A and B are shown apart, each in its own frame.
Chain A
């Protein structure tokens, strides 16, 4: 059973926990000016009260933490080394960063999203990938935009690792993109899907939108070769 304790000293009497709880576990004691756990058996551990609580005054014991959510090891490392007094639940999270489970979870979603996008937008699929790639280029913060294509390539190799292993060979306006490690290819192999489907189209255009936005060029696909080990794309660079 889940037990809930309220740190009465930390509580700021906002009663947001009373409002947000889907099963009405809390009631507000207006005499003490504090919330009380009125129906503890109703709690099913959604932790929405803990999330909304401005002073982190609500503690649950016995609630199953959703360890399959992926937690960044960089962030869990900071949290585990803050010398704080109630690290138990955070230590659980830090030990289970759940990368494999998160990857499996993403795989399923990616496959279904790809299929839905193809059905809905049809021939507009490359544009969807392109737009997503362009927004990635503006979203990832970097201390300065790359000055030329080479810098953009370096950055792309860094940003896409380790799920993707990219190689770029540029000969004036002709570019060869070699994709060695590929998350999408692994997924296709696992699910027995032939290469060159909607996910491949989405990924290539995503990459080209990302590179194009960063290097202020447009990349136009000439030929594409796909195999079980690596895929390569011949690309023409169009300067804007």
Chain B
């Protein structure tokens, strides 16, 4: 008998669902073993049918998300938190730093392209006061971060759920799949605000560009650094950072850059702190990051001025 899969999207961009469709012909192989009973991107099923595997994309941002998520949990046996938003809160986690009324104002009223008169509060579900990863609402069985997770890992994760003996997926950082070589270099200065570097064979850190590949879990097969753009950390922090309270994104990157190029560690850490909303964008709403004793997001982003 085929295993059944139901999926649901909460506050996300639906990119993770598109990644499921991106399995292409692999999807046909997968469909020999599983059957989708609910997938909003492919079929019109409003109800929540019983299923063996539940896949949830997106963070909990509105009341609708909370209700939908609880319904999903009650109907499925194994729940997969799918994509960085579901696992760590994702980019919408930056909403932690602002009141939800400010977020609505900025998006719908005061923005330069808005008329300033229309507001979505007539029929839209109201926002909750903060963004939370789905595991703060219901228990989660498998976490699959990635923005979106590469189809390779989606297939592997579903296989791992269906068959306990199936090979597990990698727990290494993005660097493990990157083709660039990390070299020591001299006379390098920190290149602020740059996402790319001249030499295509050499690691970004060796060229003074901040790349988050070494502190990010590999759920993407490293497409960005292979094609010339520094990693933005979209799959969330690497396992050692999640697990060890004393390790942090900015200090680890700074230490590695310092050992490779001699750039002062405080230069790198202060640069990352100044741009905390960019470098901590994907996992800001997760207790795994914001509860770290060294992470002072409110202070770095200047949001503490509200407190004074």
User: CB within 8 Å of B: which residues of A?
Assistant: 7, 9-10, 12-16, 19-20, 33, 51-52, 54-57, 69-72, 74-79, 81-87, 90, 93, 137-139, 141-145, 213-214, 216
Contacts and interface: CB of A to CB of B under 8 A. Distances in A.
B277 interface: no
Interface residues of B, number: 66
Nearest to B140: A81
Main secondary structure of the interface of A (DSSP, over half): loop
Contacts of B168: 83-87
Given A78-B242, A81-B142, A139 B129 contact: no
Given A85-B168, A138-B296, A138-B307, A76 B173 contact: no
A86 B259 contact: no
Interface centre among A71, A77, A90, A144 (most CB of B within 10 A): A144
B298 A87 contact: no
Nearest to A143: B130
B180 to A, nearest CB: 7
Interface centre among B100, B213, B239 (most CB of A within 10 A): B239
Contacts of B203: 12, 14
B71 interface: no
A69 B247 CA distance: 13
B2 interface: no
Contact of A85 (B167, B255, B306): B167
Interface centre among A19, A76, A83 (most CB of B within 10 A): A83
Nearest to B95: A143
A144 B131 CA distance: 12
Contacts of B98: 144
A138 B299 contact: yes
Interface stretch (B48-56, B265-273, B287-295): B287-295
Contact of A79 (B176, B183, B242): B242
Nearest to A76: B243
Contact of A84 (B161, B171, B256): B171
B182 A75 contact: no
Interface in B228-266: 238-240, 242-245, 247, 255-256, 259-260
A65 to B, nearest CB: 11
Interface centre among B95, B142, B214 (most CB of A within 10 A): B214
Nearest to B101: A144
A134 B207 CA distance: 40
Interface in B80-120: 87, 95-100
Closest 6 CB pairs of A and B: A84-B171, A14-B182, A54-B214, A143-B130, A10-B176, A55-B175
